[in-house]
Amino acid sequence: MGALFILIFISSLPAIAVFLWFRMAHYPFSMSRFSTSLLAGAASIFPALLFQYIFKAGNGIFQFSGKWGLFAEIFIRIAFTEELSRFLTLLILFAAVCRVSGNPVRTVNAAGLIAGLGFAILESAVYGASNPGNALLRAFTAAPLHGACGSRVGSSVILLREHPVPGIIRFLSAVVLHGAYNFMLYIPGRFPPIAAVLIAISALVSAIQVIRSEMVECQR
């Protein structure tokens, strides 16, 4: 239990850092919206687990052999289902925010980033309990990865309404990014762990740059 709490604490550090960043930058992102986005992201793990169960036992949909079986497992059953669940959760969240405030959601990348970090916190607990041998690496790298993917998915939710092609591309970029990270961790010996770390960090840096631009727009 002590190790599990340590993993959860480590995976929570990026969310704490983002919260402090928003406060220091005077970003118009309220505490209630931060908490709601974080909880929405954590809740998205449950439909993801359901989708993964359905695809695993879903009438042989992904009964491929050899490398195609591994590709389907990593990019479709894991990466695609997790990003899809995050998309659906953020879609509900943004619709609720628009209904309550009467204004369109402008901070979509930030909300997606926070939702991804919320997903990573709960996933670290689940993964740490089931696979403790590789849990520490994922605790350090999964949060940046999920945050970056969540930012992309958040923007795709809004883009799909008026610009469906860029929205789909944005969503699929999150799936590919997520799948590439998992692929490098799931193939021992072929890729050093640092490769997955670099993917996660570079993706997070890219997401932060987009959110900084979003900050400027919101503060005008």
Q: Is the pLDDT of residue 29 over 80?
A: yes
pLDDT of the residue at 60: 53
Chain center to CA of 167? 16
d(CA 195, CA 185): 9
Round the average pLDDT of the chain to a whole number and report it: 84
pLDDT in tens, 104-120: 677 889 999 999 999 98
pLDDT of the residue at 115: 95
pLDDT of the residue at 138: 67
Q: Is the pLDDT of residue 163 over 70?
A: yes
Q: What is the mean pLDDT of residues 163-172?
A: 94
pLDDT of the residue at 66: 61
Give, rounded to a whole angstrom, the gap between the first and last alpha carbons of the chain.
Answer: 47
Token pair of 103 as six digits: 């204004």
Q: Would you call 220 helix, strand, or coil by DSSP?
A: coil
Residue among 17, 20, 15, 53 nearest 35 (CA): 15
Token pair of 16 as six digits: 């704490």
pLDDT in tens, 48-106: 989 888 877 555 555 555 667 778 888 988 999 999 999 999 999 999 988 887 666 77
Who's near 35: CB < 8 A, 6+ residues apart?
Answer: none
103 sits in which H/E element:
none
Chain center to CA of 106? 19
Global pTM value: 0.88
